Amino acid sequence: MDILFLVCAIVLIFLGIAGSFLPVLPGPLTSWAGLFLINFHSKVEQNPYFLWITFGIALAVFLLDYIIPAIGTKKFGGTKFGVIGTTIGLVLGLFFLPPIGLIVGPFVGAFVGEMIYDSKNPNKALKASYGSFIGFLTGTLLKFVVAVIFTGLYFSIFWEYKAAFFSF
């Protein structure tokens, strides 16, 4: 059973890294599930503070991934219409064209929102859309960094207890 914990944990860790790029998987939360599993191995000393802190980080990054594109839109000169368009585009893209919709949806949503606000200024709308795309890339990078750090933590725990894992 303990070996099953290790195998499932490492699978979740690597799925978390993949989930940083694949919108259908919540990357950091999946990696955290791998950390959670290895911490409940019978040979590993449990540390609830470690689990709560890493869970908080994973949850924060998960939520920020949905907020950052809207922030990017606003930083690149978008109005409230562009921010709302980004959010609507993200949700519609999630349901209608996954996974490409999560990339295109916020971009198109910001553009449409800005065009509704000021149809005479497509350059401003395009700039706000660019901000949405930069926000998407920032969120992806953030998820990837956290997933890689969680992978490092997994291997650190694994290395610390390697003798106990394989003592038959």
Q: What is the pLDDT of residues 46-55, one digit of tens each?
A: 889 999 999 9
Confidence of residue 168 (pLDDT cuts 50, 70, 90): low
57-64 mean pLDDT:
95
104-121 mean pLDDT:
88
116-129 mean pLDDT:
87
Confidence of residue 15 (pLDDT cuts 50, 70, 90): very high
Q: Flag whether pLDDT at 150 surpasses 90.
A: yes
Domain spans of the chain?
2-165
Give residue 64's pLDDT.
92
140-151 mean pLDDT:
95
Mean pLDDT of the chain, nearest integer:
88
Confidence of residue 29 (pLDDT cuts 50, 70, 90): very high
Ranking 86-100, 105-119, 149-163 by mean pLDDT, the lowest is: 86-100
The CA-based dihedral angle spanning residues 40, 44, 48, 53, taken in that order and rounded to the nearest 10 degrees? -100
Give residue 61's pLDDT.
96
What is the DSSP secondary-structure string of 104-135? HHHHHHHHHHHHHH-TT-HHHHHHHHHHHHHH
Distance CA 150, CA 41 (A): 17
Query: Are the CB atoms for 132 and 140 separated by under 8 Å?
Result: no
Q: What is the pLDDT of residues 78-97, one digit of tens each?
A: 888 888 888 788 788 878 88
Confidence of residue 59 (pLDDT cuts 50, 70, 90): very high
The CA-based dihedral angle spanning residues 155, 19, 113, 88, taken in that order and rounded to the nearest 10 degrees? -110
